[in-house]
Structure 1
Amino acid sequence: MKKITLLLLTITALHSCKQEPKKEESSNVSADFAALLDNYYEDGLKLNPLNATTAGDHRYDDVFTNFLSDEFAAKSKAHFENYKNKLATFSDESLTKSEQMSKAILAWECDINLNEFNFNANLTPIDQMWSPNLFMGQLASGSSAQPFATVEDYENWMKRVDGYLEWMSSAEEKMREGMAKGHVLPKSLIKKVLPQLQSLTATDLDKHLFYQPIKNLPDSFTEDEKATLAEAYKSMVNNKVIPAYQKLHDFMSDEYSKAGRESSGIQGEPDGDAYYAHQIKKYTTTNMTAAEIHDLGLSEVARIRSEMEKIKEQVGFEGDLKAFFDFVRNNKELMPYSDPQQVIDNFNAIHDRMKPQIEKLFDVKPKTPFEVRRTEAFREKSASAEYNPGSLDGTRPGIFYTPIPEVSKYNVYSDESLFLHEAIPGHHYQISLTQESDELPKFRKTLWYSGYGEGWALYSESLGTELGLYTDPYQLFGMLGAEMHRAVRLVVDTGLHSKEWTREEAIQYSLDNEAESEASIVSEIERYMANPGQALSYKIGQLKIIELREKAKTALGDNFDVRQFHNQVLETGCVPLALLESKIDNWIKENS
């Protein structure tokens, strides 16, 4: 395994045994530092009220910030500069080890966010996968993080929608500016956005997503309240929402489509190389270059192919590996379902099979409940499986969403590894334990670093055998396929954004090296096109966690306890990978 080169982040207490400051002085400094962290968190919620709603904090449920406005840009920049300056007034020597970790993380946050202002990402504000309009669709359904339990909740949502429609109008303005400056989406991505917008121009009120909360009005509401809200939502949808979506759809289907770029990668935009370097750093939390990551991807693809060959031989398939990919993709025995609920039931059955083994690897488990749900219809065709965190107080469950656009074509071969990644012990354990921690300051409970978060989830896939799964060779192949999928990402993401690969070249490379369906691969490649660098985080983080486990196992010998190792990795919450490595190194020294 190639060693991942990490950022040089200095945390004095993690590398030395300097004397702690006197108690009284330390207490005052700790109080001031804790106040700084709390203020950063609270100010951050005001900047982005959607984060508050997602965390279960409903003070700002009526607000949708226009992230595209000049006013927001100025406030945001001042926010990070202000806290970066305040942070510099605290010396490492005056802080505890835990506080030093928080200081290093907050410094990272400020720097990476400030660097974002050097680029023009807001000139392509809408895509088919990542943009705020898709999350607002989830909230509009009435079954996500936005509450619809009181009359005030229903009124809050109408106010939030007003702010959201202002953002939609600004999005068109920004895209027009982007057209003038050479920052536009590839034509293939524009085609995927259009049906998403068009679906919300439908005039059948009962089927409109933004009217759904009215169909589930609480019984506790009076008849007058129900009638008033129903009329208000009817007016909101017919007179505001549908016209706004129609206007944006018409613009993107005509002028914007004509201006869409032919290039597939970010190199097709001004300052594309510099922006991609920023994205790599943001998502992997390393200083690796695109060239280094591309080479790492090629070596990982070769290694995993050799493991796949063994599975192919085990099941007695005659033919080359590419033919085996086609066989697995199209094997009707691996597409056994006729009802979407059967897919959900299968994931729940996977959970039941692994429950007896989970305590062998984890002695700390989250209290937050967990559910498997089908992805909402309006975004299902372009969506990947995903995890949405529960609320900070644990009252809203963590949800594993799985898209099932055509149940008769749903292939189960990778379901075990998918559940381990998105659900348990992947994102559900990692995020829920962070949110439930009594030790972490609030701002660290909702942080997300893909290198760590997605790295942990991919690492979790490798635990299947220890958890009593992968007894079927096709499910083991599914795990290898999922790992190959992430290794391929290293190659195609860097290929698209630093080597001028076309969309079609990236699709073909994926088809040649993994067993995903062609439709799924096309969706994935377009996902990478929409958010350069994000796809790199999974494999980079996984390799680092595997490396750290092997290091600890070698150093500690019989004293190595995998449950304690997992505690060490999970208890800090999401952190840049260099900080995680420093923490594990320190733990090894203390236990050697």
Structure 2
Amino acid sequence: MHSSSLIVVVALLMGPLVVMASEPSEQLRRLFEEEWQANLREFPVTATYLGDGRYNDRWADVSLAAIARREAHQREVLQRLNAIRSNELTPAERLNQKLYRRELETELEEYPYQWHLVVLNHRDGIQDENSVADACRFISRKDYEDWLARLKSFPEYMDQTIELLRRGVAERMVQPQVVMQRLPAQIRRQLVDDPTTSLYYKPFKSFPAEIAEADRLQLQREAQAAIQERIVPSYRKLLEFFEREYFPACVPNVGAWQLPQGQELYAYLARKHTTTSLTPQQIHDIGVSEVARIRSEMERIKQQVGFEGTLNEFFTHLRTSPEFHYTDANDLLAAYTAFVKRVDPELPRVFKKLPRIPFSIEAIPAHMAPDTTTAYYRPPSADGSRPGTYFVNLYKPETRPKFEIAALSLHEAMPGHHLQIALATDLVDVPEFRKHAHVTAFVEGWALYSESLGEEMGLYDDPYSKFGQLTYEMWRAVRLVVDTGMHSLKWSREKAIAYFQANAPKSELDIVNEIDRYIAWPGQALAYKIGELKIKELRQRATKALGPSFDLRDFHDVVLRNGAVPLDVLEEIVDEWIQAGK
């Protein structure tokens, strides 16, 4: 008798309490678990960031052969997923199936455009792979040996990366020179004469008491040898390749439109990042409309504070007046820390559920700060043992206005990224991919929406901090215009910078770094405003439909309870809640 027949016989004998192994629910559960584990094996650095240390001794295989193999595997998984009978699943399982199908289809749609060949830009790439150590825990000798194994296997990882970049040159899938000219200085930081000054050596500068002195010395000797013999030569090879072959092949203009299938690629990236069917032109038009609306609100505040002059003169006043800036980096960090403490007691007024996982505030590492934006957030480990981290940029504090601190902190920490991502990490009875889904339109849309909650929480207590919130909202509206402008409508970088400066009082350093970020990551910046507008639209719809019974805390609970989902799925979830509430 076949084993499958035996399961059926046993099930019939024992009655309905036995769940047959072949039923759709079990097939789906098994597929999710197998694929989650496979992804952790395939992408060891992702596993590291999630706090799973099983693969801390290796890098991902990023060879062209591995990329082709992963694509074929995803096609097989999609077939398996589609073969599972949806009509026999629970509503929650059908949602899981739908979301995973969407994820697979989106990734498979990307392969023909060969965006996977663009693996390097001024904001992230192999030139900063040392930062992976910051996500590792160094408690046992094995933790140090794992990092050593990564150091020793680094040349192969570098060779695969160079292979991808070389194919990118052949296929004309490259970044513009204006952003890539920042790379040589970043690579040279890794070319040290003294291995103990290498960014990769950082874990070996301190040890827990349990590790014996002799073991420490041995680990340090091995690390110094690996840096001298593996890490530094790998970066020398990258620098030589970059300067001789890669940079000369990078394009002189900006915009995805000039790449092979460039307009189609950008339209795809716009759909991917916004989870909508909006075209680049439609998104551009939404941006122009939002810029006009926010400008009129800014005009009102300019009048309120009694500034006599044009809005652009007010921007200049805000950018240049010493009263709006700190001169000391420590004072700036202290101001961020003080603000996030003010937020905590206000949260229960607008949220039913708060995350158990804490977060910390840290300075962006000094070697990356000049080339990156004002702040960013790193999620906690999957088990919550490593907190979330709100990184703030302390480089040139005199260029970073005080009035931005409130909106920025609400976005990156609470109730923005940290609240949403930490709650998602703690979801129960959902597959792992749901807990860590990074649906940009939802994640960034929520964080931008969170900035507007500062008003209801009483945190914009002077006109300038409210102007800071409008500045940040304007920044995201401007993104819709300049991102589509450069990548689809063939705007120059100079035109994009000028448009940004004309509509927001951010410093020139910030504006140039932002524009270069949009150049390097086509379409990603569209997600914020499109996501925020959808959440605000759904809140307005619920307020109108439910009238006096509308509860803001309930609304936020409904939006957040499923983790990050595409905007059309969020709309279905909120509409069902509205109908039930009626």
Tell me if TM exceeds 0.5: yes
Within a 5 Å distance, the mapping from 1:205-354 to structure 2 comes to: 205-338=195-328, 340-354=329-343
Could you tell me which residue of structure 2 aligns to residue 35 of structure 1? 30
Q: Deviations over 1:40-97 (max 9, x none)?
A: 2112112212111111111111121122x12311331133112211111223321222
Could you tell me which residue of structure 1 aligns to residue 346 of structure 2? 357
* Structure 2: distance between partners of 1:396 and 1:421: 20
* Structure 2: distance between partners of 1:412 and 1:107: 44
Partner amino acid for 1:416?
A
Q: Deviations over 1:116-166 (max 9, x none)?
A: 2111223322101133543x23123xxx21222211111111222344432
* Structure 1: distance between partners of 2:534 and 2:497: 27
**Match of 1:476, SS?**
helix
Which protein, 1 or 2, shows the higher relative CO under an 8 Å CA cutoff with sep ≥ 6?
Answer: 1
- Kept in 1: contact 2:284–2:481 (CA 8 A): yes
Q: Give, in angstroms, the shift of residue 26 of structure 1.
A: 12
Could you tell me which residue of structure 1 aligns to residue 59 of structure 2? 64
* Structure 1: distance between partners of 2:576 and 2:298: 37
Within a 5 Å distance, the mapping from 1:101-250 to structure 2 comes to: 101-134=95-128, 136-140=129-133, 144-250=134-240
Give the one of 51, 54, 63 matched to 2:49: 54
- Kept in 2: contact 1:40–1:443 (CA 8 A): no
* Structure 2: distance between partners of 1:330 and 1:442: 48
* Structure 2: distance between partners of 1:341 and 1:166: 41
**Match of 1:400, SS?**
strand
Could you tell me which residue of structure 1 aligns to residue 564 of structure 2? 574
Give the one of 451, 464, 482 matched to 1:461: 451
Give the one of 66, 69, 86 matched to 2:80: 86
Q: Give, in angstroms, the shift of residue 103 of structure 1.
A: 0.9
- Kept in 2: contact 1:421–1:457 (CA 8 A): yes
* Structure 2: distance between partners of 1:427 and 1:591: 28
* Structure 2: distance between partners of 1:210 and 1:373: 19
Partner amino acid for 1:107?
R
Could you tell me which residue of structure 2 aligns to residue 494 of structure 1? 484
Q: Give, in angstroms, the shift of residue 224 of structure 1.
A: 1.3
Q: In the alignment, does 2:365 pair up with 1:376?
A: yes
* Structure 1: distance between partners of 2:20 and 2:233: 60
Q: Give, in angstroms, the shift of residue 437 of structure 1.
A: 1.2
* Structure 2: distance between partners of 1:475 and 1:26: 58
Could you tell me which residue of structure 2 aligns to residue 8 of structure 1? none
Q: Deviations over 1:285-312 (max 9, x none)?
A: 1111000000000000000000000111
Q: Give, in angstroms, the shift of residue 581 of structure 1.
A: 0.5
Judged with a 3 Å threshold, the aligned counterparts in structure 2 of structure 1 residues 273 and 92 are, in CA distance, closer, same or farther, namely same
Judged with a 3 Å threshold, the aligned counterparts in structure 2 of structure 1 residues 505 and 370 are, in CA distance, closer, same or farther, namely same
Q: Give, in angstroms, the shift of residue 461 of structure 1.
A: 0.4
Judged with a 3 Å threshold, the aligned counterparts in structure 2 of structure 1 residues 92 and 345 are, in CA distance, closer, same or farther, namely same
* Structure 2: distance between partners of 1:132 and 1:472: 43
Judged with a 3 Å threshold, the aligned counterparts in structure 2 of structure 1 residues 342 and 440 are, in CA distance, closer, same or farther, namely farther
- Kept in 2: contact 1:123–1:175 (CA 8 A): yes
Could you tell me which residue of structure 2 aligns to residue 418 of structure 1? 408
- When structure 1 is superposed on structure 2, of 576-585 and 248-257 the one drifting more is 248-257
Within a 5 Å distance, the mapping from 1:551-570 to structure 2 comes to: 551-570=541-560
Gapped regions of structure 1 (runs ≥ 5): 1-20
Q: Give, in angstroms, the shift of residue 538 of structure 1.
A: 0.2
- Kept in 2: contact 1:507–1:522 (CA 8 A): yes
Could you tell me which residue of structure 1 aligns to residue 9 of structure 2? none
Q: Give, in angstroms, the shift of residue 398 of structure 1.
A: 0.3
* Structure 2: distance between partners of 1:333 and 1:201: 41
Partner amino acid for 2:94?
Q
* Structure 1: distance between partners of 2:314 and 2:461: 19
Judged with a 3 Å threshold, the aligned counterparts in structure 2 of structure 1 residues 115 and 59 are, in CA distance, closer, same or farther, namely same
Q: TM-score, normalised by structure 2?
A: 0.94
Partner amino acid for 1:591?
G
* Structure 2: distance between partners of 1:404 and 1:556: 45
Judged with a 3 Å threshold, the aligned counterparts in structure 2 of structure 1 residues 321 and 221 are, in CA distance, closer, same or farther, namely same
Could you tell me which residue of structure 1 aligns to residue 3 of structure 2? none
Q: Deviations over 1:411-470 (max 9, x none)?
A: 222110000000001010111000111132111111101000000000000000112211
- Kept in 1: contact 2:151–2:227 (CA 8 A): no
* Structure 2: distance between partners of 1:237 and 1:25: 54
**What is the count of residue pairs matched by the alignment?**
566
- Kept in 1: contact 2:283–2:484 (CA 8 A): yes
Q: Give, in angstroms, the shift of residue 409 of structure 1.
A: 3.3
* Structure 1: distance between partners of 2:292 and 2:450: 22
- Kept in 2: contact 1:311–1:473 (CA 8 A): yes
Partner amino acid for 2:340?
H
Q: Give, in angstroms, the shift of residue 25 of structure 1.
A: 8.0
* Structure 1: distance between partners of 2:157 and 2:271: 28
* Structure 2: distance between partners of 1:558 and 1:428: 30
Q: Give, in angstroms, the shift of residue 527 of structure 1.
A: 0.5
- Kept in 2: contact 1:63–1:163 (CA 8 A): yes
Partner amino acid for 1:266?
A
- When structure 1 is superposed on structure 2, of 109-118 and 92-101 the one drifting more is 92-101
Partner amino acid for 2:341?
D
Partner amino acid for 1:346?
A
Q: TM-score, normalised by structure 1?
A: 0.92
* Structure 1: distance between partners of 2:45 and 2:555: 34
* Structure 1: distance between partners of 2:155 and 2:332: 36
Within a 5 Å distance, the mapping from 1:433-512 to structure 2 comes to: 433-512=423-502
CA RMSD across the alignment: 1.8
Judged with a 3 Å threshold, the aligned counterparts in structure 2 of structure 1 residues 254 and 519 are, in CA distance, closer, same or farther, namely farther
- When structure 1 is superposed on structure 2, of 533-542 and 198-207 the one drifting more is 198-207
Q: Give, in angstroms, the shift of residue 181 of structure 1.
A: 2.8
Give the one of 338, 344, 355 matched to 1:366: 355
